Structure 1
Amino acid sequence: MAQPIITREIQYTAADGSQLIGYFAAPDDAQAHAGIIVAPEWWGRNEYTERRARELAEQGYAALAIDMYGEKKVTTSAAQANEWMTQTFEKADTIVQRAQAGLEALAAQTEVDANRLAAIGFCYGGKVVLDLARAGATLKAVATFHAVLATQQPAQAGQIQAEILVMHGALDSMVSLDDVEQFKTEMANAAVNSKVLILEGAKHGFSNPQADERAKANQVDLGYSASAEKTSLAAMYDLLKRQLA
């Protein structure tokens, strides 16, 4: 049975001056809980990301759906999403600075045990949390769903503190299986405790029930898979339980 939760918005500022607004959810009790940042797809900090934060709270975690674009901007247009996402690539430190600001905002909440932190991310948000881990953030676990895996700054030995779990659709046309193999090599070279779960029959966006609608509206190759969503979420919760106990 899901436990009662509280929610609120949290305003915070990144090192680059961006004014960001996160969505916080936590169990409604007097305890300090393990904290998890939830990094969004390229659409921005939308209802989907907020729902994932609430689900985590219902399972006993404190979660912050982070804002990567500023002022909690969201869109359903792939062109607009790509523009905003691309802006965060223009300077090498932007993604990590904004994600780190979100992690610090989460850790500062009274409902959070700052010694037990993790991060999950979807699509673009998967890259966000992987880059945060690559930068040496104090995370115990990182889970990604249909993530962008490529990076200009591969992890070096000793940098990543988290156990990494990557969930990838076998039919993902945006992130290839070659990209997956390169990521595996990066993790092996950096001696990272990591696992890649390949989900048969799943496309990019498999975890989001709105993926088919977004695909049709924007002419992009996305697809929802209820079975892949169920399998990947179960794997994520297993990781969180193991690392944040």
Structure 2
Amino acid sequence: MADTPDTPRSTGRPAHQNVTFDSDGTPAHGYLALPPTGSGPGVIVIQEWWGLTDHIADVADRLAAEGFVALAPDLYGGNVAHDSGEALRMMQELPVARGVELLSGAVDHLLALPEVTSGTVGAVGFCMGGGFVLYLAAKDPRVSAAVPFYGVIQGEVPDFSGLKAQVLGHYGERDEAIPAATLDGLRRTIEEQSGIAADFRLYPAGHAFFNDGRPEAYDPESSAKAWSATLEFLTTNIS
């Protein structure tokens, strides 16, 4: 049978599928995308505060098209917010510790897949998910490449003393939720606690500039630059 976008080579697994995995003894769910070759390095994609939306699934698909095995865990158990008030409530109802547990379970699942060729994973996240990228990387040494897009830190800054991942962050100069001036302190904390120099990059854009599903926020030029840098960074730092 000829290869199609939904039939990766070297595997019988569908290229795009919903999956269930164990997370600290409880079932969790997510969206898995495989590359056309059927195998590749693993990347966790972490949702915004809206939930596991079409945009996040599309990011996983885009990573798969570039040769990665991408898993987007569903941190809200199937729920998606329809307005900012609901999104805020759902984010606040997810304890950071529980979110990290779910994400570590996703790392377990991803690294156990026969299609994953790497011994470590990358983590890419947006807004709330960008913050969770840093929480996860600080906790789980199997994350070797951490890419927060305009990551929102909820509550206490993580303890980065156990961080093993290289860090590439993308932020908007006009992001009122994450003032650019605060990034120096975060960068300094990461380096002092872990010895790792985080690369935080600023773009002439506001919050959520990568989300092409939100035309009021999307910035095509900044998005393209950040995406290109992210792909190069993941390729270099996942092993």
Q: Quick check: TM above 0.5?
A: yes
Q: Is the 8 A contact 2:21 2:106 kept in 1?
A: yes
Instruction: Say if 2:232 is the partner of 1:238.
Output: yes
Which residue identity does 1:228 align to in structure 2? S
- For 2:228, what is the secondary structure of its paired residue? helix
Whole-angstrom CA distance in 1 between matches of 2:44 and 2:158: 22
Match of residue 82 from structure 2: 76
What does residue range 88-237 of structure 1 map to in structure 2 within 5 Å?
A: 88-89=94-95, 92-149=96-153, 152-157=156-161, 159-190=162-193, 191-200=195-204, 202-212=205-215, 223-237=217-231
Instruction: Say if 2:50 is the partner of 1:61.
Output: no
Q: Alignment RMSD, CA only?
A: 1.9
Which residue identity does 1:10 align to in structure 2? V
What per-residue deviation string (whole Å, max 9, x for no partner) do you get for residues 87-140 of structure 1? 113xx5212101111111212222112503111001110011110011133111
Match of residue 217 from structure 1: none
Whole-angstrom CA distance in 2 between matches of 1:144 and 1:121: 5
Which residue identity does 1:174 align to in structure 2? A
- Ranges in structure 2 where 5+ consecutive residues have no aligned partner: 9-14
Which residue identity does 2:220 align to in structure 1? A
Say which of 8, 29, 35 aligns to 2:17: 8
Which residue identity does 1:226 align to in structure 2? P
Q: How many residues align?
A: 227
Whole-angstrom CA distance in 2 between matches of 1:154 and 1:124: 14
Which residue identity does 1:78 align to in structure 2? S
Q: Is the 8 A contact 1:20 1:69 kept in 2?
A: no
Which residue identity does 1:229 align to in structure 2? S
Q: Is the 8 A contact 1:36 1:120 kept in 2?
A: yes
Whole-angstrom CA distance in 1 between matches of 2:47 and 2:160: 26
Whole-angstrom CA distance in 1 between matches of 2:28 and 2:184: 34
- Ranges in structure 1 where 5+ consecutive residues have no aligned partner: 214-222
TM-score, length of structure 1 as denominator length: 0.86
Whole-angstrom CA distance in 1 between matches of 2:221 and 2:72: 24
- Identify if the C-alpha distance between structure 1 residues 13 and 80 changes in structure 2 by more than 3 Å, giving closer, same or farther: farther
Whole-angstrom CA distance in 2 between matches of 1:156 and 1:122: 19
- For 2:107, what is the secondary structure of its paired residue? helix
TM-score, length of structure 2 as denominator length: 0.88
Q: Is the 8 A contact 1:149 1:175 kept in 2?
A: no
Q: Is the 8 A contact 2:23 2:102 kept in 1?
A: yes
Percent of matched pairs sharing the same residue: 25
Deviation beyond 3 Å, 4+ runs, structure 1: none
Whole-angstrom CA distance in 2 between matches of 1:9 and 1:193: 36
Whole-angstrom CA distance in 1 between matches of 2:118 and 2:238: 11
Offset of 1:240 from its aligned partner?
1.0
- Identify if the C-alpha distance between structure 1 residues 163 and 52 changes in structure 2 by more than 3 Å, giving closer, same or farther: same
- For 2:34, what is the secondary structure of its paired residue? strand
